[in-house]
Each structure stands twice: as C-alpha cells, then as structure tokens.
Amino acid sequence: MTNLSKGLNKVVFLSNKSASAFASGERSHLLKLTMISDSQSAPQLHKNEGIKTRSNYLRGTILEGIADSSNGSISSDDQQVSKFHGLYQQDDRDVRAKRRKHKLDKAYAFLARICLPGGVCTPEQWLVMDKLANYCAFNTLKITTRQAFQLHGILKGNLKEVISSCNDVAMTTLAACGDVNRNVMCNPNPFASEIHTEVQRVTEEIDAHLKPQTPAFSEMWLDGEPIKLTVPLNAERSLDCNGDELEPLYGSTYLPRKFKIAMAIPPYNDVDVFAHCLGFIAIVEGGKLLGFNVSVGGGMGMTHGNEKTFPRLAEVIAFCTPDQAVAVAEKIVTIQRDHGNREDRANARFKYTVERLGKDWIREELEKRLGYKLEDAHDYKFVSNCDRYGWSEGINGKWHLGLFIEGGRVVDLDDKLLKTGMLEIAKVHKGEFRLSANQNLIISNVAAEDKDTIDSIVEQYGLDAYKTASGMRRSQIACVALPTCGLALAESERYLPNLVSDLEVILEKAGLRNDEIVIRSTGCPNGCGRPYLGEIGLVGKVPGKYNLYLGAGFDGERLNKLYRTSITHEQIIDELKPILISYAKEREAGERFGDFTIRKGYVEATTAGNNFHANIA
C-alpha cells in the first residue's frame, strides 16, 4: 500500500457488437433500387454510440484531461467514457449559485464506485477504503444500493492513486458504471453458509467473466499491471460471441445502456432480483443447490412525463444449472448487445428489449446461442425484500451481526462515530463484511468467543441503531441525490430520515412502530433507490415536491402505483396519516401495508410494467 497521505490531496466541499446503422435488412436492397426519402432513412444513433466508437476502447482523452491542471473537470465526451472506469464527474450543487455569483467555475470533483461482487468485503479491503475516504469529501464511506462502495469528492489528480490502491486488495472500479454489465449482486445471506458460498462463487465468476477486456484500464490506472479480482480473470473468454479482437463480448460500442445482474436465495429477496436486467434465483432442495431460475427484463428507471418509459419487473423464463450460469449470462448480454435500442437511450435498457420482443423469443434466442435447451423454471417463494438485524447463527456455527446504516453512509457524527467504529472492528475482525442491497451491513462469520468484543465496539461507537430504530426506518432506502448527483430534482438522502421521523409520531400512536413498512426515496425518476418497489415510494419532481407511490409487494414481486403527484412534505404526511391509521385498525392477519392499500382501493395493483402509468385515480 502506498503512502496515501503523500499521494492524495484532501478535498472538502463547502457544504454538504457494434451498433447497426440500419433499421432493417432491407436497407441495402433499397439502396440498389433508388434514392430513399428521409422518412425511409436509417434512424440516427444516439451520440454516445459515436463517443464509444471514437474512444479507442475506453481510452478517450481522459489522461490528457486529468493532466490539465487549469481546471477540475474533463471534457464532456470523456465524462461519458470515464463511467466505464467507474468514475463520475460531479460538483457540489450546494455552492453552485455562490460560485457563479463570484464568477468561479463549479466545485468539480469525482465519484469513484468500487465493485464488490455480492457485497463481500474483507477486513483488509475495508481498511483500504477507510483510508481512501479520509482524502475525499465528507470523509465518508458510502454503501450503495448495489452492494458497492462509493467515494465522493475525489480531485481528478488523485484518481489513479485511488484506483490502484483498490486494485492492490482485489477491488476494482472497472465496469462499476457505463454501458456494460455492472457489479453483480447476491443475497448477503451467510445464514445458509454452504449454499451462500456456492452462490457467491457463481456471482464472482459471472462478474469477472463479463468485465470489459480492453487493456485501456490497466494501461491508464495500473501502469500495465493486471487487474486483480476475487476469482482468476481468464484472458481468453467470450471468443464465440462475435464481438471483435479487443472486446470479444462487447465490441467497440459495448452495450446500448447499463446492464444489471442479481442473484437471490429464497425466501429472501433483499437484492430485489426482479428489478434487474438478468436475475438468477437459487433453487435449493435437500440443502443442495440444484441451479437457478433465470429472470429477464427488469429495471427501475423512467422519465417524468414520458409514458413510453416505465419501471418493469423481470419475468422468469427458464432454469439453468450452476455450471450453465456464466454461459447464460454471457449469451443474454449478447442478445442485448445485438437487439437493444441504440437510437433512444431512454428506451435502451434490456427491459424494453424484452418488452418489445417478448420473453418467449428471448428464451428461444438464448437457447439458440447456447446450443442447448434449458429446463423450465422450478417453484420458489420469496417472503421479504428487507434485511435482518441483530445476531443470528449460521449453520457453520459462526455468528452474523446485521447493522442498520441509515442511508448507507458510514461517517463520524457528533454522537455516533460510525466510521471510526467500523475501522476498529476491521482491525480485529477475522471474518468478512457483507454490504446489503438495502445499504446496510453484516459483520459476518464471527466466532462465538469474539461476539462480546464486537458488541462492545458496536455499542461504544453508536453502531447499535438497529436496536431502537422503527420498522419503517429499518426498511428505508434513499439515493444520494443532492448535493453531488447532477440528475437530482429534489433531496433524497438528506430528506427521507426527517420524513420518517415525522411519520414515526403517527406510527407510534397507531401501534405500528415495529412494523416493517418499506419506504424508499429518490431525487429523480431514474430509480437508483428502487422507489417503485417501495410500499411507500417517493420520487423527486421539483425541489421540495415529490410524487407519492403506494402498493408495492413486500416480497419485491409487484410494482407500486402513483397515488399523488408533486406534493410537499406536509402534504405527504397528510396523505399518509389516515392510511396508516386505517391500516392499523383494519388490516387482516399478516397483511402487509402495500397489499392493504390495494385491497382498500387507494391504488390499483400494477400487474406489469406496461400498465404502471395506467389506472391512476
């Protein structure tokens, strides 16, 4: 590990296959016959397709931009290319107006997202992340909704040091963002230890197999040294996928949009497996992993005012064995590469490809590319998409402690030194950490004789909020939004805890304090916090106003529905108060809040993504 204090400058915010150019195969025939009109001409590809093509396999002019010390930014084209390297250029939106008034440039800095397949993190990796966070804005480790780490506020001159330091301990930012497959998720479920170990192995194999193969990342950030992952990275892979020599899987234009994969082990669906482009649902019988049900076509993002965009839950199409899972993932990615929309990025996600072509066509094409038939799906059952808290014993005799980390933000506050506490645990812990898709944390594989030591540190540094937090607070997700996200229309992470505090007054009076009611918030409709799977969902519309959604399934198998549009904090409370009180008095035995809002007619059930915008009162 290099001396980070010498290699990094501290930054502090002032506040908080190649795309086809033709619409159909008839184009070449038409060219032979006659000139064609504009209405017949090929659709124009989105500008990002050209950026990818010109990037020379993800190089662009990023290094030249970083070397330019006259400003803190890089060019707009390079901002798109840098996403493939796990980097986003951002600025502190809290100080934009003040800096503009003084004719200053924006307060630019970068976000680095660090992949952790399945959210498994060793103590050694945690120690490196803790040290890196000391040289970033907010002095914070951020746990994402996709089981990764984020560091906010990195000066561009420090990016290489951050990336190489991660690589030293088998972490990478490669493909954490961009039009490729991103961090592969998996239940942080160490309770069924043997099954989880096997599923985690498949998770890591898929994640490694789908990494871009361009040498650009290694050349630019690692001085040509190899990328280190938790499983060996096969130098020759995807050779039958009709890409090209440098990118056998992706080709020079990679995918039309980002691609997301999740693995789930029933009965827990805390990864929201149906919210992903591709899902693998573990089928376990007699304590043995038989294989996975395969689901396709999920995704959360949409655009306000554009009903051609909508969240969509994936559909189960088949079953594969563990040995087939990597090949299934690879071939599904090639289907999206070849058939995804490269003209309109708002309709470029795999969910729209599945919606357009149909799940039966996807299975048929998948089996054609695999060269063999898959089995039909097996039965399974999910019961919850929430996390488990406190101590639990795994079947291997080791113990696991689930911690509630509000907003996934591991930071030292006046009354709770969360970051320092986790650092102290990392120094003595002999197991692993598991990052959850709900932005929480599991201290995993603790020997019985070490529980007291862990407990004492947890209590000393205020990491024991899981003991006192309400059921709603423990069941929340909020995206980062302001001040760093350039897409945010309203607050989210800085807003949701305050809303929950006001709702807790109602919950307490109604006798619902300990009830798990899933509430999720995002600052824009892109869905990073999976708000459309919240029994209560909030999506930023303009500063201080949100769309309110109700009725998602507690098991993550039903989307919610718009209930009220563009309402304020006070209006949200006024709308939810009578519903919560009615729920407390009139619910049926075992009835979840989302189910109740549908049974009582507050909203109609969303039965598929394509009717998400329909039947709104």
Q: What percent of the chain has pLDDT over 70?
A: 93
Q: Is omega for the bond preceding 248 within 30 degrees of 0, making it cis?
A: no
pLDDT tens, 460-517? 999 999 999 999 999 999 999 999 999 999 999 999 999 999 999 999 999 999 999 9
SS3 109: strand
For residue 524, indicate whether it is catalytic.
Answer: yes
Tell me the average pLDDT across 310-337: 98
Q: Which of residues 429 and 11 earns the better pLDDT score?
A: 429
- The pLDDT of residue 190 is above 70: no
- Catalytic residue (choose from 17, 166, 485, 541): 485
For residues 191-208, give the mean pLDDT.
Answer: 91
3-state secondary structure 356-422: HHCHHHHHHHHHHHHCCCCECCCCCCCCECCCCCEEEECCCCCEEEEECCHHHEECECCCCEHHHHH
Is 476 in a helix, a strand, or coil? strand
Give me the amino acid identity at 568: T
Amino acid identity of residue 331, one-letter, is K
**2 confidence band (pLDDT: 50, 70, 90):** very low
- CB atoms closer than 10 angstroms to residue 52: 28
| Rounded mean pLDDT, 266-277 | 97
Q: Is 258 a catalytic residue?
A: yes
Out of 186, 320, 386, 524, pick the active-site residue: 524
Size of the chain in residues: 617
DSSP 327-362: HHHHHHHHHHHHHS-SS-GGG-SHHHHHHHH-HHHH
What pLDDT does 20 receive?
38
Of 300, 277, 241, the closest CA to residue 350 belongs to 277
Where are the domain boundaries for CATH 3.30.413.10 in the chain?
Answer: 472-611
The answer to whether the peptide bond before residue 543 is cis (omega within 30 degrees of 0) is no
SS3 295: strand
**What is the mean predicted confidence (pLDDT) over 61-79?**
97
Terminal CA-CA length for the chain? 58
Which DSSP string do the residues of 570-590 spell out, in sequence order? HHHHHHHHHHHHHHHHHPPTT
Residues forming beta bridges with residue 485, ordered by sequence position: none
- Which token pair is 423? 């650092």
Residue % of the chain over a pLDDT of 90: 90
The predicted structure's pLDDT at residue 234: 86
Q: How far is CA 40 from CA 5, 338, 340, 357, 433, in A?
A: 60, 22, 20, 22, 56
Average of pLDDT values for 550-568? 98
C-alpha span between 150 and 171 (Å, rounded): 12
Query: What pLDDT was estimated at residue 395?
Result: 82
Of the candidates 241, 528, 558, 561, the residue annotated as catalytic is: 528
Residue 279: both structure tokens together: 């899902």
The whole-number pLDDT of residue 235 equals 83
pLDDT score, position 363 = 98
Distance, in Å, from the CA atom of 208 to the CA atom of 93, rounded to the nearest integer, reads 35
Catalytic: 513? no
Distance CA 152, CA 13 (A): 10
CB 556 within 8 A of CB 590: no
Residue, of 236 and 3, whose pLDDT is higher: 236
Q: Which entry of 106, 258, 473, 592 is annotated as an active-site residue?
A: 258
Q: For residue 147, give every residue at least 6 positions away whose Cβ sits within 8 Å of its Cβ, in sequence order, or none.
A: 116, 118, 119, 183, 185, 186, 188, 271, 435, 436, 437
Going by pLDDT thresholds of 50, 70 and 90, the confidence category of residue 18 is: very low
586: Cα separation from own chain's centroid: 36
- Separation of alpha carbons 268 and 189, rounded Å: 8
Half-sphere exposure of residue 79: CA atoms within 13 angstroms, side-chain side: 14
Instruction: Output b/e per residue, 31-43; b: 16+ Cβ within 10 A.
Output: eeeeeeeeeeeee
| Of 569 and 235, the one with more pLDDT | 569
Residue 528 annotated as catalytic: yes
Class of domain 472-611: alpha beta
Cα separation, 115 vs 90, whole angstroms: 19
Active-site annotation holder among 83, 93, 156, 182: 182
pLDDT at residue 34 is higher than 50: no
Point out the catalytic residue in the list 113, 146, 211, 434. Answer: 113
| DSSP bridge partners of 87 | 112
Range in 165-174, 184-193, 300-309 with the lowest mean pLDDT: 184-193
How far apart CA 273 and CA 6 sit, in angstroms, is: 42
CA angle 527, 575, 524 (to 5 degrees): 20
Query: What is the per-residue pLDDT for 572?
Result: 98
Gyration radius (Cα) of the chain, Å: 24
Q: Which helix (H) or strand (E) holds 564?
A: strand 561-567
How far apart CA 138 and CA 191 sit, in angstroms, is 34
The label of the residue with tokens 């809040």 reads: 593
For residues 270 and 287, what is the distance between their CA atoms, to the nearest angstrom?
Answer: 21
Q: Beta strand 399-403 with 87-91: parallel, antiparallel or unpaired?
A: unpaired
Give start-end residues of each CATH 3.90.480.10 domain in the chain: 390-468
How far is residue 284's CA from residue 271's CA, in Å, rounded to a whole number?
A: 18
Residue 85 reports pLDDT greater than 50: yes
Q: How far apart are the C-alpha atoms of 424 and 484, rounded to whole Å?
A: 29
Work out the pLDDT band at 16, boundaries 50, 70, 90: very low
Q: Which of 30-34, 350-354, 551-555 has the lowest mean pLDDT?
A: 30-34
In the numeric block, the tokens 């003084």 are attached to: 102
Active site residue 277: no
Domain range 1-178, CATH architecture = 2-Layer Sandwich (3.30)
CATH code of the region 390-468 = 3.90.480.10
Per-residue pLDDT reduced to its tens digit, 384-420: 999 999 999 988 889 999 999 999 999 999 989 999 9
| 115 annotated active-site | no
> If you average pLDDT over residues 275-303, what whole number do you get?
97
Average pLDDT, the chain: 93
Give me the catalytic one of 106, 211, 260, 541.
Answer: 260
pLDDT value of residue 67: 97
pLDDT at 17 over 80: no
pLDDT, position 29: 35
Q: What pLDDT, on a 0 to 100 scale, did the predictor assign at position 396?
A: 83
d(C-alpha 168, C-alpha 552), whole Å = 42
The larger pLDDT score, comparing residue 188 to residue 212, is at 212
Structure tokens at 570: 């006070």
Burial class (CB in 10 A: 0-12, 13-18, 19+), 360: exposed
Predicted pLDDT of residue 578: 98
pLDDT tens digits for 247-264?
Answer: 999 999 999 999 999 999
Cα angle 66-70-71, degrees, rounded to a multiple of 5 = 70
pLDDT at 7: 46
Q: Per residue, what are the HEC states of 588-612?
A: CCCCCHHHHHHHCCCCCCECCHHHC
